[in-house]
Structure 1
Amino acid sequence: MAAVNHPPAVVLLTDFGTDDTYVGQMKGVILTIAPETRIIDLTHAVTPQDVTEGAFLLERALPYLPPESIVIAVIDPGVGTRRRAIAVEAGGRRFLAPDNGLLTPILLKNGPVQCVEVTNRRYIAPERSRTFHGRDIFSPAAAHLATGIALNTLGAAIEPADCMKLPMPGCTALGIGVWEGGVIFSDRFGNLVTSIDSSLAAEKDQWRLVLPDGTALPVRETYGNVPEGEPLAYRGSFGTLEVGVRDASALERFGLNRGEKVRLERL
């Protein structure tokens, strides 16, 4: 039996939520142009207008997305201004996003093959809202890419070096066996995702994560290693340390916001 050739999957990452019709409108545009396209909802729950969080989530999800995916990433507080709409090809995938730093990990780590500004009116909506470029620019452009057009038909080439980049969350060594990082975001369970790389807390040693109020949490393997209601730090699925409370919310318990500092210490 001959293999079936499917169009590349279109992956959506936004801060739109699902209470309104925004995501449905984007999907409607994509499927009108490319009806056989598979659509993956990576998330629509990025903290509103938090470009750094969106960039982090995209970077960490990238290894698990299908090869040749077309990714639409829209966290766009500058929509309707002079900021550019860009399309980037890197690592065998294509990405469409506002030029506001959302594609920082792609531009810095994945060796972009080409980058264009999306301006060709043939491949975007003839009438465009000033506030909904996810529907009127990025979705039709992605759908046309899914039908087989080349990236460079979307507009004029630009240098990846000229695209906006953000400082991405990371951690700093404060001494031997001590690193400082910060909270990036909380997930829907109330777990606090930090910027401290899990690999720093080598399993052969004992570690603790110190919160801004001085609370010191043991680094454990998983929630079941502490009693119900007890807090812990653990090596999370994003590849960084996280703060959790067994069967409860670390966000509610500690009230930490993005950017607040945490410290990893070897015992």
Structure 2
Amino acid sequence: MSVSDGSDPVVILMTDFGLRDTYVGQMKSVISSICPNARVIDLSHDVDPQNIAQGAFFLERSMPFFPDRAVVVCVIDPGVGTSRKPIAIKTARQTFLAPDNGLLTPVLGLQTITDCISISNPEIMLPVQSSTFHGRDIFSPAAAHLCAGFPFDRLGDPVNPASCITLPAEKNRIENGNIIEGRVLFCDHFGNIVTSLESSLVENRHRWEISAEGIDGLPIVKTYEDVDEGKLLAYRGSFDTIEIAVRNGSAAGITGLKHGAAVRLIRKKTVTTANPS
């Protein structure tokens, strides 16, 4: 059974390689050499270096938008060259290739797994494999071969999905239902601060405010135009979590908040408006 159905296959790439060097270009070149009709989508190459949890978060929040039958290659791999396994997971919708280091936690938890296998067949690797660049030498050619019709079950040996490494669930601390403490997950390209506080926690944004180191009583607004230019705001972001931003500025630069910093959602003692939106 392969992932090819006769239409142009899609490969989705996510790495922490950045775009300054040639790493991503080499991966794409390998894919194109093996399966020229494959369309390659760059999900992101700016995951913070070695930040497996951030990569897993990006993957979780992006999976609903992936086309069916896509082959998704995820390489955030601080253990490259060690005993960690390169694995491939086939679900009812897509196929995912990644190191077995927790990066595929959302796939294992949210999708229906049909097959799981180690990537160990030398037929679908480059003839010589670097000990530090499995993205080019193992994952990219394996993905391209699958797109070209190579049978999934010939990638290597079967793996029990239950044995795959998963990351612990992100847990926010709740105090009496009035204070919910989360943390900064990452800061995006614009300097917006993405937190672990789910938007669903805020049933009425007027009843809550945000607090963090150097920030007190920050209201949750609908959009940037609700505050003056250069002012801080909190809002329900596109990742479905609460974000902190600055209108036409960088919240990360102004606040200095970094990955792991505590962020608190605090229920107001009084509500100044009855607007439930």
Contact 1:117 1:158 in 2 (8 A): yes
Q: CA deviation at 1:205?
A: 4.1
Contact 1:97 1:138 in 2 (8 A): yes
CA distance in 1, matches of 2:244, 2:100: 32
In structure 2, the CA distance between the partners of 1:175 and 1:91, relative to structure 1 (3 Å rule), is: farther
1:58 aligns with 2:50: no
1:9 aligns with 2:10: yes
Q: CA deviation at 1:261?
A: 1.0
Q: CA deviation at 1:117?
A: 0.5
Superposed, 1:119-138 pairs within 5 Å as 119-138=120-139
Greater mean deviation of Cα atoms: 238-247 or 148-157: 148-157
Q: TM-score by structure 2 length?
A: 0.92
Q: CA deviation at 1:7?
A: 2.9
Aligned pair count reads 264
Contact 2:205 2:220 in 1 (8 A): no
CA distance in 1, matches of 2:193, 2:228: 19
Q: State the partner residue of 2:210.
A: 209
**Amino acid across the alignment from 2:31:** I
Q: CA deviation at 1:204?
A: 6.4
Contact 1:170 1:196 in 2 (8 A): no
CA distance in 2, matches of 1:213, 1:160: 44
Contact 2:194 2:241 in 1 (8 A): yes
Specify the SS of the correspondent of 1:180.
strand
Greater mean deviation of Cα atoms: 205-214 or 101-110: 205-214
CA distance in 1, matches of 2:175, 2:88: 39
Q: CA deviation at 1:45?
A: 0.4
Q: CA deviation at 1:212?
A: 2.8
Task: List gaps (5 residues or longer) in structure 1.
Answer: none
CA distance in 1, matches of 2:11, 2:150: 14
Superposed, 1:6-85 pairs within 5 Å as 6-85=7-86
Q: TM-score by structure 1 length?
A: 0.95
Task: List gaps (5 residues or longer) in structure 2.
Answer: 269-277
**Amino acid across the alignment from 1:180:** E
Q: State the partner residue of 1:145.
A: 146
Identity of aligned residues (%): 48
Q: State the partner residue of 1:165.
A: 166
Q: CA deviation at 1:8?
A: 2.4
Specify the SS of the correspondent of 1:265.
strand
Q: State the partner residue of 1:263.
A: 264
1:194 aligns with 2:200: no
**RMSD (Å), alpha carbons:** 1.4
Q: State the partner residue of 2:118.
A: 117
In structure 2, the CA distance between the partners of 1:205 and 1:215, relative to structure 1 (3 Å rule), is: closer
